[in-house]
Amino acid sequence: MHQIDIANVHTCIGSSTETMTCNSGPCLIEGAWSSWESWGLCSRTCLNGTRNRLRHCRSTDQDQGGLYCPGNHLETSTCNQITCPVEKTCPDNWIVYHSSCYFFDHTATTFANAQRFCHSRNSSMVHIESVEENTFIVNHLQTFSNPGNGWWIGMTDSDVEGTWKWTDTNKLVNYTNWDRSESNDSGVGEDCAVFLRAGGYRWNDFSCLPGNDLYSVICMR
């Protein structure tokens, strides 16, 4: 066996590794989301609607094949979870408004007879609870070619002057639409209210005693 003389071994000239460049193109930047836009309209007014909102991916590299934003661009949420109201069905010749039916009778009569007329039809003389309801009634009265002088309203202050109550419930009247200085009880026993045509269908107080003022009636149920 021959022994190698370590002292006489020569080291190789040059590097044992070589390096070269690669993937020299620009690094792709992951996109960034914009803020969410406002919610859109609800798909239903009641009973489990949905609404959407969007956001947009912002990246200068998208045109060059940049990375898209992680996650969804669309978000969906529930809305209007309330139960849908049951649509009111009214008899023939009655008019529906929201959850009530209205009947407009053109016969001029006393307040007491007007009340009996409505009761015979399983209804009460009209109550007005809001400006919207009052506007609906006035708009309908203005469509009649022969509207008469006025229409009774089912309210009275016969117990305490100036304290108006609904005749069928005895509850206080919370909304009124009096004409100028009305109600002023300027006559004798002006304890009942009327849509007065001469006053642009604003309210006026008149006597509801038998044999006095005669007006048409609006029933509701």
pLDDT tens, residue by residue, 62-104: 555 566 788 888 999 999 888 887 767 899 999 999 889 999 9
Per-residue pLDDT at 162 exceeds 60: yes
pLDDT tens, residue by residue, 111-127: 999 999 999 999 999 99
pLDDT tens, residue by residue, 176-214: 999 876 666 555 678 899 999 888 899 999 888 877 789
Class of domain 95-220: alpha beta
* Closest to 154 measured CA to CA, from 173, 177, 141, 136: 173
| CA torsion angle 218 125 176 135 (round to 10) | -30
Class of domain 30-84: mainly beta
The domain limits of the chain are: 30-84, 95-220
